[in-house]
Amino acid sequence: MITGGSRGIGGAIARGFGAEGARVVINHFKDDNNAADTAAIIRESGGETLTIDADVADSSQVGAMVAQVIETWGRIDILVCNAGICPFYDFLDISEEIWDRTLDVNLKGVFLVSQAVARHMVERGGGGRIIATSSISSMVGGTQQAHYCASKAGINLLIKSMALSLAPHQITCNAVLPGTVETALNRDALQDAAARIEYERKIPLGRVGQPDDITGAVMFLASQGAQWMTGSLIVIDGGTTSAFQ
């Protein structure tokens, strides 16, 4: 099950799992067209999909979504908490409403969905993988991202705490921390040639990331090769944060 799985990084992850034969639940929030497009690609490759419109910040909708998946397919083995928003505002211009919505989707959403799925995993005898999409913005500040940075930093320690709590049940919890990846969140900014050059100047590998650059690490964390990894934060940023150190 992939939250925010209709497009961008989540869509790439959904397609990756689908290509490997997984049954893929694409959660989205009022993004029917993109969810349908991603589901169609998975089905064309021979995979099975279920699309569910649900707000991850609403516990009742989360509960209904998890129940629907279990009723349809019987179990959830892998959860990817990817849903997130990043409204760009200077610190002095962030309203309480914007702050609350950002933290609700990005951080509370990970908590609510992870808790609901983890309870199911425990009830069916344990075992499972929970993977969250954090960001290198959890490690460095941003002039228009104070709310976003705070939400992603929260994910990091939430994942580590979950890893400790769920280890006795053989449920691993890890996170990936992407750098600048070209998605709908920042595509407009990257269309400006000068701005793109400035972004790329800060990335040692010389280019902004693409959603598919994140898929491999997520699929590794869901694989048998990562069965002894939990509480880990994997940075995928073209070397950006290494250059800052």
188: pLDDT confidence band, cut at 50, 70 and 90? confident
Q: Tell me, yes or no, whether 39 lies in a domain.
A: yes
Q: Within a domain: residue 67? A: yes
Structure confidence by residue, pLDDT tens digits, 193-240: 887 888 888 899 999 999 999 999 999 999 999 999 999 999 999 999
Per the CB < 8 A criterion, the answer to whether 110 and 155 are in contact is yes
Residue 202 domain-assigned? no
Number of folded domains that form the chain: 1
Q: Treating both helix axes as pointing N-terminal to C-terminal, what angle do 146-166 and 109-123 enclose, rounded to 10 degrees?
A: 20
Mean pLDDT of 53-65: 98
pLDDT of residue 87: 93
More confident position, 202 or 91 = 91
Helix axes 32-44, 8-19, angle to 10 degrees: 20
Single-letter residue type at 108? K
Tell me how far CA of residue 31 lies from CA of 36, 76, 112, 145, in angstroms. Answer: 9, 23, 20, 24
- pLDDT > 60? residue 106: yes
Beta bridge partners of 52: 27
Amino acid occupying residue 97 = E
Sign of CA dihedral 129, 163, 121, 116: negative
- Domain extent, residue 58, equals 2-182+211-235
Sheet holding 2-3, edge to edge: 48-53, 23-28, 2-3, 78-81, 128-133, 171-178, 233-236
Only one residue has tokens 């993977």, namely 131
pLDDT digits (tens, 9 = 90+) for 14-56: 999 999 999 999 999 999 999 999 999 999 988 999 999 999 9
- Cα(32)–Cα(68) distance, rounded to whole angstroms? 17
What dihedral angle (degrees, nearest 10) is formed by the CA atoms of 31, 32, 36, 39?
60
Tell me the pLDDT of the chain averaged across its residues.
Answer: 95
Active site residues: 135, 148, 152
- Helical residues (DSSP H) of the chain, grouped into ranges: 8-19, 32-44, 59-73, 96-103, 109-123, 146-166, 187-191, 193-201, 212-221, 240-244
- Report yes or no: 141 and 88 within 8 Å, Cβ to Cβ: no
User: Could you tell me if residue 197 is inside a domain?
Assistant: no
Residue 245 in this model has a pLDDT that exceeds 60:
no
b or e along 84-100 (b: 16 or more beta carbons within 10 Å of the residue's beta carbon)? bbbeebeeeebeeeebe
Those residues with Cβ within 8 angstroms of residue 39's Cβ, 6 or more apart along the chain or in another chain: 26, 49, 51
- Residue 188 located in a structural domain: no
User: Band of the pLDDT at 244, cuts 50, 70, 90?
Assistant: low
- The percent of residues in the chain predicted with pLDDT above 70, rounded, is 99
On whether residue 198 sits in a domain, the answer given is no
Radius of gyration of the chain measured on its C-alpha atoms: 17
Q: What is the pTM of this model?
A: 0.95
Domain CATH number, residue 67: 3.40.50.720
